[in-house]
Amino acid sequence: MKHLLLRPVIVVSLLTALTGCWFSERVEEFSGPTMGSTYTVKYLRSEGLPSPERLQFEVAAILDEVDVQMSTYRDDSIIEQFNRAPAGTCQVMPAGLLQLVDAGFVLHQQSAGALDLTLEPLLNLWGFGPKARTEKVPTAEELAQVMVHVGMQHLRRQEDQLCKQADVQVDFNSIAAGYAVDKIVQRFTALGVVSYMVEVTGELKAAGKKPDGQPWRIGLEAPQDGQRVAQRVLAVDGYGISTSGDYRNYFEEQGQRYSHTLDPLTGAPITHTLAAVTVVDKSTLRADGMSTVLMVMGTERGLIFAQRMGIAAFFVTHEGDAFVTQTTQAFEQLFAAGDEQ
């Protein structure tokens, strides 16, 4: 399967070790490549559930569908056909793709433009997109030329069609993995799987208990190159988790560091000191999109926005050579009694 997207995110640690006892129920696991990265599924196998082979087939079918519909790394995908079409074009779209478009409009409106689904030309220009040639700082003229083709105002949903009023290109980089996790979880629930941990390119959702009666525990990785340390461990039951960060995907030019995270309003990489942000939400799609929104906003503006919106968020900010963490009230209400430090 070709790349859908390679979203640079903080990898979360999957802390799922069992005790040494034997249980009639056991944790099954399978994984594979997807979206330029990998996926991992762990679930509690019990009597009456489909076989592991059947469940892996179901997961692969969902990921293949996402790839065919939404990949910007394959010319024959549905969204790439739309991206190549001229301005003034309308195209009938599958329900899943339209769900992502609708979610993008909501997040765009709520965040005053901090999330934008039409950034692909900008990502390519800076060297981070699917059609990028090299990582480089564009000239002001190059940036101005591309910004004309960026903006959610150029897109319109018309029943089962997606229309564009300008020559824009849609990229679901900020929400597709979260959507895929939710689709897999929805299918698992229909098949009777009640205890699981589903992760796609770092976005994940977990629910239920393991055979030892303990919840799934997810480690938030500290934003440090060269080592992987869990900064905080969360006991998760029924929530999706998404972490966005700027410390692993960037380039340097003339001593200046340029993050892969672009601000849609300026067309340039973010310059604030927020290193990583984690969002927890019942919807993994929403957690995925909101982590991008807060990463674009930065700590100060992001904290105010997250508190106002009731978002459960965990911020990690550069402060000299160290990192400072801050959380929202909604985050502490979720994990004050259930996480392990």
pLDDT of 252 reads 66
**Domain ranges (residues) in the chain:** 82-164
Instruction: Give the tens place of pLDDT for each residue, 252-277.
Output: 666 676 678 899 999 999 888 899 99
Taking CB atoms within 8 Å and a gap of at least 24, the contacts of 87-90 are: 87/164, 87/165, 87/166, 87/167, 88/164, 88/165, 89/163, 89/164, 90/158, 90/161, 90/162, 90/163
pTM, two decimals, is 0.89
Instruction: Give the tens place of pLDDT for each residue, 168-177.
Output: 999 998 999 9
C-alpha–C-alpha distance, residues 210 and 45, integer Å:
10
Instruction: Give the tens place of pLDDT for each residue, 193-212.
Output: 999 999 999 999 999 999 99
pLDDT of 341 reads 37
Homologous superfamily (CATH) for 82-164:
ApbE-like superfamily (1.10.3980.10)
Who's near 282: CB < 8 A, 6+ residues apart? 238, 239, 240
Mean pLDDT of the chain: 88
Residue 52 pLDDT > 90: yes
C-alpha–C-alpha distance, residues 210 and 225, integer Å:
32
CA distances from 174 to 84, 107, 192, 272, 291 (A): 20, 11, 30, 19, 9
Tell me the pLDDT band of 221, cut-offs 50, 70 and 90: confident
pLDDT of 12 reads 47
User: Rounded to 5 degrees, what are φ and ψ at 122?
Assistant: -70, -40
Largest Cα span, the chain: 66
